[in-house]
C-alpha cells in the first residue's frame, strides 16, 4: 500500500507542476502579445508548441493554436496555416483516441487535477482554427482554398450540439467502479444549495451565457457568407450567402448584415454590378474571456450523510476589455456581429457541471485515501495531506489570443484612400484602384496599441 501511495504522490506532484509551468509560460506570452510585439509572441508560442519544421508538427495543441493565430495577425499567413494544420491533426488524434486511453488518462488525473490531462480542444477552438486558416487564404487571394476552410468550419458548427451530449455521456462512463461511487457523492454535493450559493458568490452561475442558436459562432457564418457573396460562381452560391447572412441577422439584428442579405439577393437575381466599389470592414476587437482559478470550500458528502467542507480549486471565466466600442472606416461605424465571450461562455457553462463533479469526485477520493493512510501510517497520511493541498489546482488552459468581439460595416468607396479611426489612432489606408471590391480587416488588441490593418482587394 505504501509503495502505491508513494507512486500516487509522485504523479500528483507532477500534475501540480504542469499547471504552474503553463501559467508561467502564458504570463510571458501575454507580456509580448498585449504590448503588440507579435514577433516575440509568435516565436515564443512556436517554441512552446514544440514546432518541428522538418515534419511540420507540434506536440502541444493549445500552443499550436496560439502560434497559428498570432502568426496570422503578424501577416505570416503560410506559417500560420502550417501551425494550424498541425494543431488540427492533433485535434483529430484526440477525437480518435481510444476509450481505454481516455479512461486511463482520466483515472490518472483523479490523483492530481484536470491540468494533467492532455488539452482537449473546445468546439470553438476547432471552428476558429478553420476560420483563421480561411482568412489566411483570403489574405493571399486564394479564394478556392478559403472556401474549403469555410466549409470545414461550418461543418464543425453543425456537429456542435451532438458533441456536447456525447462528451458528457462518455466522461461519466469512463469512471471506474470506485470512482463511480465517489461520483455519486459528488453529484449530491454539486446539486446542493450550499454549493450553488458558493459558486454564485464566486461568479459562477451557469446561466449567464446563453449560446447562439445551435452553438454557432456568427463570425464564422458571416465570413462564410461574405466569401460566397464576393467570390461565388453561381446563383446557388449567392443564395447560400443570403442564407448565411439571414442566420447571422437572426442572432444580431445588425443593419449591416441586413444590407448584406439584400446584396446577396441582388446578386442571385443577376445584378452583376451591385457590389462595385464596395468596401467591407471586419474589426477584431479586444481580447476574449479567459479562465482563472478560484478556491472555495464546498460541501462534500464523504461516504456518509455527514457533510465536510473541503477546499478545492475550480475555473471561472474572467472577461477582458474591448479595445474600442467601435471603429470608424470611410465615415461609417462598425457594429457587433459576434460576441466571442458569449461563444466561449456558453460552451464553458455547458461542460461546467462535469468539471465540477469531476473535481468533487477527485476531492472525495483524495480525502478517503488520506484518511486510510493516516489510520495506518501518520507520516504518510500527513504527506498525502500536503500533496492534496499542493495538487489542488484548476485547469485554466484556454485559447487566449482570440478577440472579444467581431464587428462589421460596409460602404461605397469614393476614392482609393480611406481613413481608419480607432480611438486615438488614425490611419490612412490605400485601396487598389483597379479592384472592384475590398475588405479592410482591422485588429485592435487594446486601446493603447495601434491597430493592425490588412486589405484584401478583389
For 3, residues 6+ apart whose C-beta sits below 8 A from its C-beta are: none
Domain residue extents for the chain: 2-457
Q: Is residue 51 scored above 60 in pLDDT?
A: yes
pLDDT level of residue 103 (50, 70, 90 thresholds)? very low
In percent, the amount of the chain with pLDDT more than 90 equals 63
At 34 the pLDDT is 96
pTM of the model: 0.88
Helix 177-190 / helix 340-376 crossing angle, nearest 10 deg: 120
Lowest model confidence (mean pLDDT) among 76-80, 170-174, 201-205 = 170-174
Residue 421 has which C-alpha cell? Answer: 479611426
The more confident residue out of 344 and 304 is: 344
Could you tell me the maximum CA-CA distance found in the chain, to the nearest angstrom? 84
At 117 the pLDDT is 81
Residue pLDDT, tens place only, 195-247:
889 899 999 988 888 889 888 999 999 999 999 999 999 999 999 999 999 99
Please compute the mean of the pLDDT values over residues 262-282 and round it to a whole number.
92
Q: Is residue 327 scored above 90 in pLDDT?
A: yes
144 vs 162: CA distance, rounded Å: 29
Amino acid at each position: 500500500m505504501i509503495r502505491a501511495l508513494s507512486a500516487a504522490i509522485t504523479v500528483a506532484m507532477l500534475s501540480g507542476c504542469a499547471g504552474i509551468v503553463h501559467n508561467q509560460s502564458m504570463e510571458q506570452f501575454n507580456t509580448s502579445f498585449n504590448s503588440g510585439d507579435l514577433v516575440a509572441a509568435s516565436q515564443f508560442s512556436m517554441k512552446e508548441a514544440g514546432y518541428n519544421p522538418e515534419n511540420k508538427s507540434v506536440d502541444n495543441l493549445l500552443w499550436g493554436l496560439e502560434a497559428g493565430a498570432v502568426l496570422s495577425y503578424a501577416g505570416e499567413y503560410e506559417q500560420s496555416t502550417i501551425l494550424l494544420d498541425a494543431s488540427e491533426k492533433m485535434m483529430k488524434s484526440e477525437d480518435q483516441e481510444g476509450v481505454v486511453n481516455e479512461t486511463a488518462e482520466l483515472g490518472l488525473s483523479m490523483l492530481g487535477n484536470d491540468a494533467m490531462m492532455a488539452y482537449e480542444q473546445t468546439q470553438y477552438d476547432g471552428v476558429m482554427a478553420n476560420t483563421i486558416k480561411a482568412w489566411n487564404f483570403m489574405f493571399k487571394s486564394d479564394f478556392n482554398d478559403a472556401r474549403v476552410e469555410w466549409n470545414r468550419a461550418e461543418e464543425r458548427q453543425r456537429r456542435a450540439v451532438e458533441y456536447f451530449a456525447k462528451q458528457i455521456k462518455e466522461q461519466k462512463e469512463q469512471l471506474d467502479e470506485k470512482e463511480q461511487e465517489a461520483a455519486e457523492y459528488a453529484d449530491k454535493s454539486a446539486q446542493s444549495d450550499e454549493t450553488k450559493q458558493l459558486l454564485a458568490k464566486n461568479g459562477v452561475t451557469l446561466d449567464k451565457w446563453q449560446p447562439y442558436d445551435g452553438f454557432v459562432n456568427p463570425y464564422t457564418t458571416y465570413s462564410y457568407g461574405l466569401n460566397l457573396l464576393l467570390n461565388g460562381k453561381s446563383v446557388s452560391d449567392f443564395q447560400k450567402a443570403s442564407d448565411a447572412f439571414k442566420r447571422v441577422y437572426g442572432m444580431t439584428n445588425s443593419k449591416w448584415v441586413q444590407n448584406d442579405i439584400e446584396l446577396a439577393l441582388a446578386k442571385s437575381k443577376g445584378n452583376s454590378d451591385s457590389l462595385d466599389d464596395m468596401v467591407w470592414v471586419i474589426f477584431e476587437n479586444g481580447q476574449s474571456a479567459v479562465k482563472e482559478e478560484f478556491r472555495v470550500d464546498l460541501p462534500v458528502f464523504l461516504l456518509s450523510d455527514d457533510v465536510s467542507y473541503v477546499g478545492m480549486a475550480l475555473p471561472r471565466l474572467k472577461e477582458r476589455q474591448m479595445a474600442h466600442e467601435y471603429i470608424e472606416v470611410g465615415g461609417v461605424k462598425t457594429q457587433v456581429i459576434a460576441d466571442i465571450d458569449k461563444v466561449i461562455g456558453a460552451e464553458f457553462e455547458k461542460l461546467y457541471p462535469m468539471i465540477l463533479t469531476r473535481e468533487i469526485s477527485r476531492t472525495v477520493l483524495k480525502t478517503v485515501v488520506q484518511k486510510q493512510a493516516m489510520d495506518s501510517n501518520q507520516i504518510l497520511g500527513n504527506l498525502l495531506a500536503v500533496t492534496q493541498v499542493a495538487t489542488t489546482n484548476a485547469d485554466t488552459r484556454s485559447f487566449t489570443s482570440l478577440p472579444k468581439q467581431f464587428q462589421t460595416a460596409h460602404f461605397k468607396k469614393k476614392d482609393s484612400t480611406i481613413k481608419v479611426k480607432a480611438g486615438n489612432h488614425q490611419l490612412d489606408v490605400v485601396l487598389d484602384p483597379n479592384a472592384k471590391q475590398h475588405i479592410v480587416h482591422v485588429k485592435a488588441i487594446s486601446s493603447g496599441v495601434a491597430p493592425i490593418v490588412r486589405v484584401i482587394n478583389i
